[in-house]
Structure 1
Amino acid sequence: MHKKNIKTAGKSLKEAEKALIMIHGRGADARDILGLASHLNVSEFALLAPEATNNTWYPYSFLAKPEQNEPWFSSALNLLKITVDEVLSQGIAAENIYFLGFSQGACLTLEFVTRNAQKFGGVVAFTGGLIGDKVNTENYSGNFNETPIFIGTGNPDPHVPLERVNESVSILEKMNAKVKLQVYDGRPHTISQDEIEIANRVVFS
């Protein structure tokens, strides 16, 4: 199970009016994803990056049956809840909490916010989609109240099929999110400068 290990940067939760929760990808760590912050308009934010035990949130593909990724999958979602609760306990409202993830971290980010939909500050998913061998809409409830969400992805991507990204966008929009999707033909599995610029414009403006 994931141990609570949350790295921080930026302003302290006591000083900041906004918080960004950053979720790293498979094989990476919290410091890797925190390094992205220098490219984003988040200088006034508290930054929190939970770290996966053994650098992986769940063992198999995000397209595997969810039970195959247990108990790590549920543990990862719980760690995000613990992180959010920590921010809320310091007086930062949900509408001032932002989320960002890359790859496996982007999938986890989208899964968490869609299971807990409400008015958040914004969400950035660099290459990700909702988790499971099929999308189970029974897991998702709430209303995003026009939360801005940016999803960038390559086509084709070796890990995240565009079909699942499109299906995820459709669900997010039905739940009243303002989604901006950008698809890059032939882009490798990485984060591009263009995606950074769109994230700054759409979410961190």
Structure 2
Amino acid sequence: MSYLPCVEIKSQQQADSAVIWLHGLGADGHDFASLVPQLNFPKKVSTRFIFPHAPSMPVTINGGYIMPAWYDILEMSIDRKVDVVQLEKSAAEVAKLILREQERGVANQRIILAGFSQGGAVVYQAALSHAEPLGGLLVLSSYFATYQTIQAHPANQQIPILIQHGTQDNVVPEALGQRAVQLLSERGYHVDYQRYPMAHTLCAPQIDDINRWFGRVL
């Protein structure tokens, strides 16, 4: 089986948990790999971090320029018209990484999916449609792009979900993060939502909160 190329940061001990973390548009797997030294939750010593690289493709909103992307974005409207078929293909690639972690001895309940911006839209799809319960879903500065098309699986109806967003985000407006909370809550998911006075990025207090959340779900 072929897999997405990834940056992988091995655990200090035999891995019994894993975090698969997707970057945003135009970045690559190295983008969040540099964050790992700042994470110090208790189970970090036995957590493997996987940061996949998105394939390169033309992106319509950027004039068709070829760049790393999980899917094409067709319009810069508030509703974010996207190539749903391509997004679903990217989510299927994430599912293959989940399976690989299981084959390497990590239980599915100990696998967390995380994603920033475009990557967040993909992990919504990948986690909520997955046929086995996962350990958690972390979504940063993103939006629920496939809420109208997703075939959610009941196995992840109780998945812990943390959504974080910046109040000054001019790339993915906070309204889209808040809308995701509403859409998920209406479907019976329990969602924690945290907001920060920042743009389309990460901040130190947010990293502290991620540490606490990882510590709780793992």
TM bin (shorter chain): 0.7 to 0.9
Larger CA deviation: 166-175 vs 76-85: 166-175
Q: What is the one-letter code of the residue matched to 1:58? A: Y
Q: 1:86 to 1:138 in 2, by over 3 A?
A: closer
In structure 2, what is the equivalent of residue 46 of structure 1?
48
Q: 1:143 to 1:3 in 2, by over 3 A?
A: closer
SS of corresponding position for 1:4 = coil
1:66-99 per-residue CA deviation (whole Å, 9 max, x = no partner) reads 4xx2653232111101111101122211110012
2:209 is the alignment partner of 1:192: no
User: Is residue 10–residue 43 contact of structure 1 (8 Å, CA) maintained in 2?
Assistant: no
CA distance in 2 between counterparts of 1:11 and 1:116 reads: 25
Structure with bigger gyration radius:
2
Unaligned runs of 5+ in 1: none
SS of corresponding position for 1:191 = coil
Cα offset for 1:201? 1.1
Q: What is the one-letter code of the residue matched to 2:29? A: A
Larger CA deviation: 101-110 vs 162-171: 162-171
SS of corresponding position for 1:204 = helix
In structure 1, what is the equivalent of residue 30 of structure 2?
31
Which residue of the other structure, out of 161, 167, 173, is the alignment partner of 1:161? 173
CA distance in 2 between counterparts of 1:137 and 1:87 reads: 27
SS of corresponding position for 1:106 = helix
2:111 is the alignment partner of 1:112: no
Cα offset for 1:192? 1.1
Larger CA deviation: 69-78 vs 31-40: 69-78
CA distance in 1 between counterparts of 2:187 and 2:18 reads: 23
Unaligned runs of 5+ in 2: 57-67
CA distance in 2 between counterparts of 1:33 and 1:72 reads: 23
1:27-78 per-residue CA deviation (whole Å, 9 max, x = no partner) reads 1111222111112233321111221112211121694444xx2653232111
In structure 2, what is the equivalent of residue 150 of structure 1?
162
CA distance in 1 between counterparts of 2:183 and 2:155 reads: 11
Cα offset for 1:3? 6.7
CA distance in 2 between counterparts of 1:139 and 1:145 reads: 12
Same amino acid, percent of matched pairs: 23
In structure 2, what is the equivalent of residue 181 of structure 1?
193
Q: What is the one-letter code of the residue matched to 1:5? A: P
